[in-house]
Amino acid sequence: MANDTIPTLQWLSNQIEKLDTDLLRQMLKVIAEFLMGLDADGRCGAAFGQKSDQRVNHRNGYRQRRWDTRLGTIPLELPRLRKGSYFPEWLLAPRRRAEKALVQVVSESYVNGVSTRRVDRLAAAMGIEGISKSQVSEMAKSLDEIVDDFRQRPLDRGPYRYLWVDAIVQRCREGGRVVNVSAVTATGVNADGRRELLGLDVFTSEDEAAWETFFNALVARGLDGVELVVSDAHKGLKAAIAKTFIGTSWQRCRTHFARNLLAKVPKAAQDFVAAHNRSIFAQPNQREVWAQHRRVVDQLAERFSDAAQLLEDAAEDTLAFAAFPKSHWRQIWSNNPQERLNREIRRRTDVVSIFPNRQAIVRLIGAVLAEQNDEWCCARRYMSLDSLKIVHDKKPDEIVRHEKIAA
């Protein structure tokens, strides 16, 4: 949570500064170049391309300049003038407040969008005057395009054999009141064995129609080759998976299922039941997983019939992971990888508490996802290429079914 002694926005700005991300540098570049353009136009006496009797100079292209900031080095394009030279002392002089102020504007834009009043106040402090609402709107559009480009990019690194999906509830203002909305996300493993954040959207509720819309959008962008979808057992989500990804297996998150299972037994017996449930996932191969599951159901049936029945009914869904390479089991038998991402999202959204609109949610969470995706692109492979090839080459008769074990 934000420190009570500093303003919330300043705290958010400080947190974002620490991340040293490509996305934030790109947004900082957009605002800096926007303000330099306005400054250059002011020195020319008229806007770029505008005919005016007040004009005293003309723009003449751009030159490159490196800008060293606390966020890293940012390549800038400085305007050139036909007469004389242009250098933005207010920005590039060492240790100027301008850099911190620009970071503050970017931080605010994450949450509230770019405010005409805020940018005008910043520009005036730097000696730049006359910023119009349309100019600020154009800058805001450029900033939002950075996140939108990430969200709408083609999914061309497939096939994506595994897909993890989840939703996180956020609060925003709509129609004069505060409402709960669901920010849904999807993560996959691409053909190079690396994790990739595939999508983000915001819906009024987590129903089947919302999930189906989300999945269809992913497919339209190029998502293909999905063999297993991992999620919790939300009814609408499960139905949408079955409709969109025909012939794909579904893995019910073992962590969520364990909570449901323990709710069926007295508190004094929960450790006993939890240990038996964990033993199912500790087996060396698919056949032994199913055999141990059968033994656990039989052991629990007499004392904890409700728990045994739940375990029996959920077998196909909770043990779907066992049909895939053992080296992948820890990654695919639960939605924990997605839960870790959700914690990072909450860390950044908790400071906001209530968003002004849905676009603000998309802007902030989209930025978090883009940052995480950049890190994953440079990290070691999440799964080896050889093991992913096994997933593709698996034959149907290699899958051991529950009824075969029982027989």
**Looking at the domain assignment, is residue 51 inside a domain?**
yes
Task: Choose the final residue of a domain: 152, 181, 208.
Answer: 152
**Looking at the domain assignment, is residue 280 inside a domain?**
yes
Claim to verify: residue 110 and residue 184 sit in the same structural domain: no
Considering 175-184, 350-359, 366-375, the range whose residues carry the highest mean pLDDT is 175-184
Encoded tokens for 273: 């039941």
Claim to verify: residue 193 and residue 134 sit in the same structural domain: no
**Looking at the domain assignment, is residue 205 inside a domain?**
yes
- Residue 20 scores a pLDDT above 70: no
- Residue 404 scores a pLDDT above 50: no
3-state secondary structure the chain: CCCCCCCHHHHHHHHHHCCCCHHHHHHHHHHHHHHHHHHHHHHHCCCCCCCCCCCCCCEEEEEEEEEEECCEEEEEEEEEECCCCCCCHHHHCCCCHHHHHHHHHHHHHHHHCCCHHHHHHHHHHCCCCCCCHHHHHHHHHHHHHHHHHHHHCCCCCCCCCEEEEEEEEEEEEECCEEEEEEEEEEEEECCCCCEEEEEEEEECCCCHHHHHHHHHHHHHCCCCCCCEEEECCCHHHHHHHHHHCCCCEEEECHHHHHHHHHCCCCHHHHHHHHHHHHHHCCCCCHHHHHHHHHHHHHHHHCCCHHHHHHHHHCHHHHCHHHHCCHHHHHHHCCCHHHHHHHHHHHHHHCCCCEECCHHHHHHHHHHHHHHHHHHHHHCCCCCCHHHHHHHHHCCHHHCCCHHHHHC
**Looking at the domain assignment, is residue 142 inside a domain?**
yes
Task: Choose the final residue of a domain: 122, 152, 182.
Answer: 152
Claim to verify: residue 138 and residue 170 sit in the same structural domain: no
- Residue 95 scores a pLDDT above 50: no
Q: How confident is the prediction for the chain on average, in pLDDT?
A: 82
Claim to verify: residue 242 and residue 318 sit in the same structural domain: yes
**Looking at the domain assignment, is residue 179 inside a domain?**
yes
C-alpha span between 12 and 107 (Å, rounded):
7
Task: Give the pLDDT band (50/70/90) at residue 51.
Answer: confident
Can you give the pLDDT at residue 399?
A: 44
- Residue 150 scores a pLDDT above 50: yes
Residue type, 162: Y
Claim to verify: residue 166 and residue 133 sit in the same structural domain: no
**Looking at the domain assignment, is residue 3 inside a domain?**
no
C-alpha span between 109 and 151 (Å, rounded):
17
Considering 132-141, 331-340, 389-398, the range whose residues carry the highest mean pLDDT is 331-340
- Residue 16 scores a pLDDT above 80: no
Residue of higher predicted confidence among 31 and 278 = 278
**Looking at the domain assignment, is residue 1 inside a domain?**
no
- Tell me the residue range of the domain where 84 lies: 8-152
Can you give the pLDDT at residue 116?
A: 60
Claim to verify: residue 96 and residue 215 sit in the same structural domain: no
Claim to verify: residue 176 and residue 40 sit in the same structural domain: no
Task: Give 229-254 pLDDT, tens digit per residue.
Answer: 999 998 899 999 999 999 999 999 99
Residue 79 CB: number of other CB atoms within 10 A?
A: 21
Lowest mean pLDDT among 191-205, 352-366, 373-387: 352-366
Residue 239 CB: number of other CB atoms within 10 A?
A: 15
**Looking at the domain assignment, is residue 2 inside a domain?**
no
Can you give the pLDDT at residue 403?
A: 41
CB 231 within 8 A of CB 206: no
Claim to verify: residue 195 and residue 309 sit in the same structural domain: yes
Task: Give the pLDDT band (50/70/90) at residue 354.
Answer: confident
Number of domains composing the chain: 2
Claim to verify: residue 242 and residue 343 sit in the same structural domain: yes
Claim to verify: residue 61 and residue 176 sit in the same structural domain: no
Claim to verify: residue 84 and residue 217 sit in the same structural domain: no
- Residue 103 scores a pLDDT above 60: no
Claim to verify: residue 334 and residue 251 sit in the same structural domain: yes
Task: Choose the final residue of a domain: 107, 128, 152.
Answer: 152
- Residue 8 scores a pLDDT above 50: no
